[in-house]
Amino acid sequence: MTTPSRVPTPQEQAKLDAIKRQWQQRRAITQNLSQIKNKVGVYSGKGGVGKTTVAVNLATSLAQQGHSVGLLDVDIDCPNSTKVLGITEPPAHIDGKLIPSERFGVKVVSMGFFQQNEDEAIIWRGPMIHNVINQFLQLTEWGSLEYLIVDLPPGTSDSPLTVMQTLPMDGFVMVTTPQPLAILDAKRSINMVRKLKIAVLGVVENFTGEIFGSGGGEILAKELETPFLGSMALRSDYRDDSKPTVLNSDEVRKEYQNLMANLETRLISLRQSA
């Protein structure tokens, strides 16, 4: 006698449907990003440490070296990458796809393009942020890229968690400043990334010099056994905001060339050990 299969309860069916939707979304995202060789997140434990500045200058430096590069700004609450790049032309919409805007050889998608007033606060709860991030990941037509640099929201809350669980990343660059509190928050964020079984590519120390000191990022990298990718000095060159600073300053350009070389070495090492 055949035992009839049990019909799931409404609650069980809702959970099954949610799991199915998540799987379908992740599959669609993976397919949409299949032509991107390296997907690198730029992340920080707190705001104000220069995460977006590092992301934009890294992307611009890679493009200047002849690499095909995209920059995805998923800091939905405070999207600043368009401001640093000085780009205002929003992405085009063709056949349901977003075609990224481009400047200095970098393809760009950001929530900043969709604000009517840049001074307006984006006050959204987690599900709305999650939906926007998913739309960016599924609908953007990046084409073939060597690098996609992803500017993440800071901290360990719902927004960065959504990105980490949704976007298949090759790893994260952690940006910190030398002060003890910034180092502590960076350590917390690195531990979050590791709990999610995602690679930490290394640590970048920003704003080094007489004012904030130096060396905290190297100590953090050594303590957590991850590479130290480089330091970026606090320079007056950054006051010229007409374009990314790597295009205006030889000293800053050299710092980012060092970062690029160390990042490439780290990515190659991870692939060889996989």
| Domain residue extents for the chain | 37-273
Confidence tier at 197 by pLDDT (50, 70, 90): very high
Q: Residue 10 above 60 pLDDT? A: yes
Burial bucket for residue 6 (CB in 10 Å: 0-12, 13-18, 19+): exposed
Q: What is the pLDDT of residue 1?
A: 54
Q: Residue 170 above 90 pLDDT? A: yes
Burial bucket for residue 263 (CB in 10 Å: 0-12, 13-18, 19+): buried
Q: What is the pLDDT of residue 3?
A: 59
- The position carrying tokens 């928050």 is 185
Q: What is the pLDDT of residue 125?
A: 73
Q: Residue 69 above 80 pLDDT? A: yes
Helix, strand or coil, per DSSP, at residue 155? coil
Can you say whether the dihedral through the CA atoms of 238, 241, 242, 244 is positive or negative? positive
Q: What is the mean pLDDT of residues 175-204?
A: 95
Q: Residue 50 above 90 pLDDT? A: yes
Q: Residue 227 above 60 pLDDT? A: yes
Q: What is the mean pLDDT of residues 10-16?
A: 80
Burial bucket for residue 187 (CB in 10 Å: 0-12, 13-18, 19+): middle
Q: What is the pLDDT of residue 216?
A: 95
CA–CA gap between residue 49 and residue 2 (Å, rounded): 64
Q: What is the pLDDT of residue 2?
A: 59
Summarised one tens digit per residue, pLDDT across range 91-134 is 998 988 999 999 999 999 998 888 777 777 677 777 788 788 88
All residues at 6 or more sequence positions from 130 whose CB lies less than 8 Å from its CB, including other chains: 158, 162, 166
Query: Is the whole-model pTM more than 0.75?
Result: yes
pLDDT above 70 covers a percentage of the chain that reads 97
What is residue 179's DSSP assignment?
A: S
Q: Residue 78 above 90 pLDDT? A: no
CA–CA gap between residue 176 and residue 249 (Å, rounded): 22
Query: Rg (Cα) of the chain, in Å, rounded?
Result: 20
Domain 37-273 homologous superfamily, CATH: P-loop containing nucleotide triphosphate hydrolases (3.40.50.300)
Q: What is the pLDDT of residue 4?
A: 63
Q: What is the pLDDT of residue 273?
A: 87
